[in-house]
Amino acid sequence: MIAVVDYGSQYSHLIARRIRSLGVASEIISPQKNTLELKNIEGIILSGGPSSVYKNRSPRLSDSLLKLNVPILGICYGMQLLAEYFGGRVAKSKSREYGKETIFVNQGNDLFKGLSKRETVWLSHGDKVEKLPKEFRSISSSRSCPIAGFFNRNKNIYAVQFHPEVVHTENGQTVLKNFVFKICRAKKSWNVKDQATKIIKDLREEIGSEKVLIGVSGGVDSLVAANLLHRAIGNKLYAVFIDHGLLRKDEAEEVEVFYKKGGFKHFLKVDASKLFLKKLKGVTDPEGKRKIIGYTFIKVFEDVAKTLGKKDKIAFFAQGTIYPDRIESGASSKQAAKIKSHHNLVLPKKLKFQVIEPLADFYKDEVREIGERLRLPKESLFRHPFPGPGLAVRILGEVSPNRLEILQEADAIYIEELKRAKLYDKIWQAFAALVPVKSVGVMGDSRTYQYMISLRAVTSVDGMTADWFKMPLDVLERVSSRIVNEVKGVNRVVYDITQKPPATIEYE
């Protein structure tokens, strides 16, 4: 097993995901974790993080980790920690590096076996190692970072300034594979497809004869979580679908049909769209919208629970939380920087139920693999991710019924054309967003002053990083023409070509 020490990087769990994809078990631990509790550790990876090692109160390297006497790989902040610990010097860099860069590789070490002399990697740092510790040797450099990697063969310690776990590092998986198998000599012990049976068994044992309430939607995460629970406890599961009115066009009806056909005896659809829109009136702040939607969900669920409680006692509340939800909410460690709130993570603090999160340790691609094991329909499993707060976070600024209708129509046209062009399955996520900035246009002989629609399409493995999809121009032209001609209130369409990072996939 490879332990990943989380120093607050948004990529910490992504490292673990990459290790698991190699067939090796991996566990995230905090820097404060008592190493005596760790078992079967074959190697340690120190993650990146937002701190600077030369500042007070920045997280430090624990002596106890080194006493485990297993190979160590430091990534970004992890590299700087190792440099400082062993007597090197770390300082603020005059030229920061964010995004794709080229590094020059010294191939005389096991970590870089199979790599070229020049490699494209993903860098994200403002500090750099200025002086190597004694008995350590540099193994890579970049245009503004002479020491972009180092190692000490005797101590079995390796470090890199770049992020091998990010897909934009072209041979990053080779670097991790070399560390896991050539340096740590780890044994294969992880198969995500075997997890479905284990999860169902664990759920049966944990829940026993009690009843469970779960909130479902049209998304993959709640779909797989609900079906795992349904396989485990059958009709003791109560599936509640809250229609907050912020869904894609016709989605509420599609969700209801799907679950009823799937044999969910206790399926309840609650139309709360008017309540949500009323609560969102006048709200423009993204976090404000997310929190209002989260709190409103709590209230609606509490009302539903009270109603159900008159007939049946429900002990558990289940939700489809997955790893990225936890990461971006700053829940992976004390050092993690919060990017945005996820409304489903607020619920457990308010509802008086024991909480069950069957998918909390899995990434989106793993969730889909589990769903395939359950033989769920591919068109549902591979539907593009959709945010819990719905179109509220794809309408920049205030959400109004008019803006909502405009976006639903534009988004429906976009997705329809992607499917017609057979591009939908080649894209990780695609959607339209409404930009509440009006611009001048001309339709016929008339001057217009209407909204702008931004189209977003990205490729990704797990949503932690993403690149923009190279959309064929004829498809973009067709989508733009249809939206402008068919959606009243729009006279301009743009295509977003920003990567994640620096941007996020969603707009809010």
Contacts of 492 (CB under 8 A, 6+ apart): 439, 441, 450, 451, 452, 453, 484
* 32 φ/ψ angles, rounded to the nearest 5 degrees: -90, 0
Residue 385 CA: distances (Å) to CA of 78, 157, 435? 31, 39, 20
User: Cα-flanking dihedrals φ and ψ of residue 416, to 5°?
Assistant: -60, -45
DSSP 180: I
Q: Which of 165, 357, 409, 506 is catalytic?
A: 165
Q: Starting at the earlier edge strand, list the strands of the sheet with 354-356.
A: 266-271, 237-243, 212-216, 316-318, 354-356
Query: What's the burial of 503, exposed, middle or buried (CB within 10 Å: 0-12/13-18/19+)?
Result: middle
Task: Please identify which of the residues 163, 168, 342, 343 carries the catalytic annotation.
Answer: 163
Q: The tokens of 214 are what? A: 């779960």
Question: SS3 for 336?
Answer: coil
- Catalytic residue chosen out of the listed positions 76, 384, 409, 506: 76
- Cis-peptide into 501, omega within 30 deg: yes
Is 165 tagged catalytic? yes
- 76 is annotated as an active-site residue: yes
- Residue 35 φ/ψ, nearest 5 degrees: -65, -15
CA 362 from chain center: how many Å? 10
Helices (H), ranges, 378-472: 378-381, 401-420
CB of 1 within 8 A of CB of 25?
yes
Specify the 3-state DSSP secondary structure of 170: coil
Pairing outcome for strands 118-131 and 26-29: unpaired
Contact present, 176 and 18 (Cβ < 8 Å):
yes
Which residues are known to be catalytic? 76, 163, 165
